[in-house]
Amino acid sequence: MDGWLVKTDVEGNQLWAKTFGGGNDDEFNCVIPTKDGGYLAAGSTGNYPAGYGWLVKMDAGGNQLWAKTFVWGNESEFSSVIPAADGGYLAAGESSSSGGRYGWLVKVTP
């Protein structure tokens, strides 16, 4: 199952729908608009390999510009993302390691 994003107008009419990911489970937990008119989605991917925190940057039309994966411990995911003052992004979520679950924060620079 791929991560799926749908953009609608104010009346709920679909403008575009895009899927991202590979053959394993991928999901988005958060999406934000970016200063350049595009979007940044955060979640997790079962690809690249499995259990990685996942960020996907898109243009205004929903076309992928870049994707980045991060891991700490055994499995990681992002549940939120915000813009940073320097033009980068802060992604927060949780990760598992040594039998426990831990919060984590990743800074992505421009």
pLDDT of residue 49: 59
More confident residue, 99 or 108: 108
Three-state DSSP string of the chain:
CCEEEEEECCCCCEEEEEEECCCCCEEEEEEEECCCCCEEEEEEECCCCCCEEEEEEECCCCCEEEEEEECCCCEEEEEEEEECCCCCEEEEEEEEECCEEEEEEEEECC
What tens digit of pLDDT does each residue of 31-81 get?
999 999 999 999 998 876 567 899 999 999 999 999 999 888 778 899 999
The two beta strands, 64-70 and 100-108, are: unpaired
Q: Return phi, psi of residue 43, to 5°.
A: 180, -135
Q: Compute the mean pLDDT over every residue in the chain, rounded to the nearest whole number.
A: 90
Domain boundaries, the chain: 3-108
- With 70 as the cut, is the pLDDT of residue 1 above it? no
On the question of a cis peptide bond just before residue 83, with omega within 30 degrees of 0, the verdict is no
